Homo-oligomer: A and B are copies of this chain.
Amino acid sequence: MKNTQNIYDNDTFFEGYMKLRDNPDNMNINLVNPAFFSLAPDLTGKIVLDLGCGYGENCAKFLCLGAAKVVGIDISEKMLNVAKADTNGIEYILADLNDLSDITGKYDAVFSSMAVHYVEDFNKLCAQVANLLIDGGYFIFSQEHPFSTSPMNGPSWTRDEDGKRTHYNLSDYGRLGRRETTWFVDGVIKYHRRFSDLINSLVDNGFLVEKVLEPLPSEEVLVKLPSYAKEFDKQSFMLIRGRKIREIVTPAVQ
């Protein structure tokens, strides 16, 4: 894990992040989570893996939804220490999502919330997740929308004289790979992939793409948080549900 960034163990980052997560107005609660859990199959009695589990919030939810066993993986010892203090019945493993080859077992569902954009090689991740899934198992993840990871200089908007957003400044969409941005601290590394790159990596590794979501704020959320209206101009999140398929019966075209 020597060469992988671990911003979550940086004190400044950790404090900023925990404050954000505790804020009931954060985008995870209002936009990502409803879409994320809408993609979950019935978890009753299932074995679940959570990639980039952070302080274990979703792991606890998977248990509530009936999962028999939950394993959470994160690179941050600080996050896992918070996780371990809070919950029972969940196994936490300190590991790097860039290489899951030491993770053992077979899972009914692999979830990952807002972590995949930190992984350098998405194709390798798909291959390793496929290995960890039973036939018919689900890979469900949320990540920053390719719109957000696209610009080399980080996301930005153009505003009119009154400060109102007029449009999002889209650039570099076709330039794949490493992006260095600031989020609480400088030098946060993410990886930009296009929509097609995500879908094709899933397909190439034996996943059926079952659903793609680009969540928009509900009217209720817009009343509470009017600034979320910007999501109608440029979306912030993308979620995908893939299913590991054993066999597709497509007779040769006759």
A: residues with CB less than 8 A from B are: 41, 46, 108-109, 134-138, 147, 151, 158, 166-175, 194-196, 199-200, 203, 208-214, 216, 231-235, 238, 243-254
Contacts and interface: CB of A to CB of B under 8 A. Distances in A.
A151 to B, nearest CB: 7
A247 B249 contact: yes
Contacts of A231: 174
Nearest to A244: B250
A246 B196 CA distance: 24
Contacts of A167: 151, 169-171
Nearest to A195: B195
Contact of A233 (B170, B238, B245): B170
Contacts of A195: 195, 212, 214, 238
B170 A232 contact: no
A194 to B, nearest CB: 5
Contacts of A166: 169, 171
Given A108-B253, A254-B134, A171 B248 contact: no
A211 B216 contact: no
Nearest to A231: B174
A172 B134 CA distance: 40
